[in-house]
Amino acid sequence: MTPRVLCIVQDEAFRAQVRALLEASGFAVEGTGSGLEGSARALTVRPDLILAGVHLPDMEGHELVARLRCEKALATVPIVALGGAAADRDAALAAGADGFMVPEATPGAALMEEVRAVLAGKHERLPEDGERAALKAMSGAMASRLEAALNCERRTAARLAEADRLKGAFINNLAHELSTPLTPLSGYLRILLTEKLGTLAPQQRRIVEAMLQSVGRLTRIVDNLSDFASLQSGHAPLLDAEVNPDGLVDEVIAELRPAVKDARLHLAVHHGSGAPVRADARKLRQALANLIGNAVKFSPHGGEVLVEVAREGGKLRFAIYDQGPGIRAGELERIFEPLHHAASRAGDEARPPGSGLGLPVVRRIAEAHGGRVFVESPPRTQPLSATHHYTGSKFVLEVPERSPRDGPSPAAPGAQDAAAATAAPAPPPGPASSATMR
């Protein structure tokens, strides 16, 4: 059986020379310049011999030797340390190396002799006093490196926290600057549609309506920017008010009616009836607009979208079904992460891109209310009273059902772990009433 040698040395040219020398003598050789990669590869390759440089870019040679000796699978694998100083020799042998040599600039007969000797059972050992001194020096050096790594980690964490703060401030300022001109623009377009300033020809009305639709889409993007920044920082208290869930859904769908018409979709709404609840109407409306807007955006022309409003077990649940391309199983854990764009199950790369903030905002709004959002793709269950089969995705926004007499929401942004976004859902209850729209 061909002996296998793993060469972990920083100098790439030297590794290539070692490979040529050993392969010419019947060895199989693998090489890397990284101690971390080398230790991982050693566990995979299970070599008959390891050549380890005493100075590597990511760790010292004696640290690598000590790391390898911690693995039971490598406990009997001989290790030869390659270095250039007496201190390096003592540290390597104290850490568990079986041999040490100062290699020539061009590896040759001396290296081959050392390799064969170690494979034959040669083991270099330090005297007891020397080993104790070497271990003490090695422990001190490793403690210093650990302290330096921890200090670097603290500085990095502080820089990341400051970068997050600046990013949040930038997004907030950007959203404010964008919303300032959008507000009068939307107002003036609505005034034009009232024809108080003059009668509009049919073509002019269509143009103004298209402009108003685009302004509405841009406003939702700006709202996502603002909500993401404020909810991410935890400085977005809920403004509790009395909310009619069915009416909230109807308002969102009314805004999306032009997009539904353009896509020639059939959109059905199953109302849940019941008394009003206590929630932040604007934020809940924004979350629903993101979810329903996504269903409309990714549905094929002529497809079906269903929005269900239901109450069960003290929970208010909004479920949105579609017949779109769906989401790959591996993406379900990540779609609620900021700036992530999921690929469809069909691998369709032509899907319309978005800002990457819509679903993260939905998750944070749900958590701010003490609830959650999750997705099934394809839906595990179909609506009880549905007349169509939904093959794409099912998004569910679920919040506690609090009556207007209840106090403010006890939850805070980020109170629940992100894993709640994909928790297993309960089957939806049947709808109380329904309405449809094309």
Tokens for 193?
């549609």
Domain of 395, CATH number, reads 3.30.565.10
For 104-133, write each residue's pLDDT tens digit.
878 888 999 999 999 999 888 887 777 677
pLDDT at site 235: 63
The whole-chain average pLDDT of the chain stands at 82
Tokens for 105?
């600039």
Domain of 15, CATH number, reads 3.40.50.2300
Residue 294's domain spans which residues?
Answer: 239-437
Q: Averaged over 416-437, what is the pLDDT?
A: 41
* Whether 95 and 159 share a structural domain: no
pLDDT at site 418: 38
Of 266, 294, 289, the closest CA to residue 375 belongs to 294
* Domain assignment of residue 347, yes or no: yes
Beta bridge partners of residue 267, listed in sequence order: 305, 437
* Domain assignment of residue 408, yes or no: yes
* Whether 319 and 397 share a structural domain: yes
* Whether 289 and 387 share a structural domain: yes
* Domain assignment of residue 368, yes or no: yes
Helix (H) or strand (E) holding 101: strand 99-101
* Domain assignment of residue 54, yes or no: yes
Lowest mean pLDDT: which of 80-84, 149-153, 162-166, 246-250? 162-166
* Whether 211 and 89 share a structural domain: no
* Whether 189 and 278 share a structural domain: no
Task: Tell how strand 49-53 and strand 79-82 pair up.
Answer: parallel
Task: Tell how strand 277-280 and strand 240-243 pair up.
Answer: antiparallel
pLDDT at site 288: 93
* Domain assignment of residue 201, yes or no: yes
Sheet bearing 304-312, strands edge to edge: 372-376, 394-400, 315-322, 304-312, 266-271, 433-437
Which one has a higher pLDDT value, 103 or 68? 68
* Whether 199 and 243 share a structural domain: no
* C-beta of residue 92 within 8 angstroms of C-beta of residue 100: yes
What is the domain count for the chain? 3
Q: Averaged over 192-206, what is the pLDDT?
A: 90
Which is it for the CA torsion 82, 84, 89, 91, positive or negative? Answer: negative
* C-beta of residue 9 within 8 angstroms of C-beta of residue 15: yes
pTM (whole model) above 0.75: no
* Domain assignment of residue 57, yes or no: yes
Residue 318 pLDDT more than 90? yes
